Amino acid sequence: MTKQTLAAAPPCTLFLFGANGDLVKRLLMPALYNLSRDGLLDRNLRIVGVDHNPASAEDFAARLHAFMVERDKGGEGSAKCLDEKLWARLAKRLDYQTGDFLDPATYQALARRIDKTRHGNAIFYLATSPRFFPEVAQRLGQAGLLDESAGGFRRVVVEKPFGTDLASAEALNACLLKVMGERQIYRIDHYLGKETVQNILVSRFSNGLFESFWNNHYIDHVQITAAETVGVETRGAFYDSTGALRDMVPNHLFQLLAMVAMEPPAAFGADAVRGEKAKVVGAIRPWSAKMAQKNSVRGQYRAGKQGRKPLPGYRQEPNVAPDSQTETYVALKVMIDNWRWAGVPFYLRTGKRMSVRDTEIAICFKPAPYAQFRESELERPKPNYLKIQIQPNEGMWFDLQAKRPGPELVMENVELGFAYKDFFKMTPATGYETLIYDCLTGDQTLFQRADNIENGWRAVQPFLDAWAQGGEVHEYSAGEDGPEAGNELLTRDKREWHRLG
């Protein structure tokens, strides 16, 4: 086994805007705790929460500690047992700055904190409502906090959504680039922090076996699914104005598509990898309004059951309009117009209140061209799938046909593959650990670039425009795998969705 030799990240002051929000307590602080556990944080790292609610550093630390203790009862990235000594060392790094995001005095106070450090390094993490992204960025620039001329680095982390359509994404990028350089912007997508997502690149480009058949000569189609069993929970107000398409497709699902479909980069560096990803997303065919309607399905869950548990319909969720037409399920067919993928459809689907939690990529290979087994029950062999499961059971599996033991010629589907947990020691993680560490060390490989963001929205915009003209939002019961129309998107092409789970 290769020994890991990562060094601790350089010293820095990490400012968390929106410090009292869910993102900080649920994901960022647990990730920082895990990085501290692994010795990857410099002893001079300082973490400063920034929010308008008055609080002391002690108050801030106490609230986070209470959540970490509660979180240990279960949840993604949970350690099951909080190390109080480790937490005490991390808590000493915590501080708090009360301030309005729109008040210049807030930024003057942040500047004074940076001036007290020897290194001058600072990261501004915008864990806020998206409406504050341009406002905070402008004020950081006006206050001189993004100026690197004194030698320290200055970086800004922006959470999704990166706009709500092509025009707003272009406007946000223009606003950010007005006050800082692209190399200072870290547009974060937590899917890219997951081990199995990063492993797509390793599997593709370090194994000659894969790359030799990774093209339209051997691959029939690709399916990318992000299925959730949860509903909108407390996010009703946000979700009802956003929907499944905007929430998931131009970021999470297109990032997975880019990992699968990109060309081999000239080198494994940030510029080369991000350049290839931008190219392949830019090669997605822009549908006409008519074709966008034909190649998309919208769904919304109604009341149903998960096992014996009754579940409310989307319109009965808190802060959701009783006559809402917002989609909680979307299925799309997209085509990539380049040499490698010409003629290979990519089917994408995501939905809430589905039967299982499953994020996976299923690569379907073309079936054997000749039916040798005419006398058997399977005249034409089934296609083989390579399944890459992102969550919850991380791993890769390849299925193939084999003869069942016995005198009769009966074929059976078998799976070859591995689960991460069976081969590697998996420490608790949220998915943000790698991304925060990369931001601290200045590695932008797993972060989105402006052109990638805009290419994604350019591919999504035809669906938004077509839906604005009308079209049906199909119903499906909570606990089911979306509406029947989602299945028909594939059956009309003589294909079917790979079974979830």
The annotated binding site for NADP(+) is made up of 100-101, 160
Q: Among residues 65, 252, 474, 498, which one is catalytic?
A: 252
Known binding-site residue numbers for substrate: 190, 194, 228, 247, 352
Q: In 16-152, which residue ranges form alpha helices assigned H by DSSP?
A: 22-23, 29-37, 57-71, 84-91, 104-115, 133-142
Known binding-site residue numbers: 100-101, 160, 190, 194, 228, 247, 352
Do residues 32 and 125 make contact, with C-beta atoms less than 8 angstroms apart? no
Do residues 296 and 463 make contact, with C-beta atoms less than 8 angstroms apart? yes
Query: CA angle 11-13-18, nearest 5°?
Result: 145
Determine the Cα–Cα distance for residues 381 and 371; give it in Å rounded to an integer: 7
Do residues 468 and 293 make contact, with C-beta atoms less than 8 angstroms apart? no
Determine the Cα–Cα distance for residues 380 and 369; give it in Å rounded to an integer: 9
Do residues 33 and 90 make contact, with C-beta atoms less than 8 angstroms apart? yes
Do residues 25 and 61 make contact, with C-beta atoms less than 8 angstroms apart? no
Helix (H) or strand (E) holding 211: helix 208-212
- Beta strand 122-126 pairing with 304-306: unpaired
User: Minimal CA–CA distance to 154: which of 197, 111, 188, 190?
Assistant: 111
Under DSSP, is residue 332 helix (H, G, I), strand (E, B) or coil? strand
Determine the Cα–Cα distance for residues 381 and 403; give it in Å rounded to an integer: 12
Determine the Cα–Cα distance for residues 395 and 417; give it in Å rounded to an integer: 7
Beta strands across the sheet bearing 94-98 = 94-98, 46-51, 13-17, 122-126, 154-159, 185-188
Backbone angles phi, psi at 497, to 5 degrees: -65, 140
Q: Is 252 a catalytic residue?
A: yes
Chain centroid, CA 43 distance in Å: 30
Q: What is the set of active-site residues?
A: 252
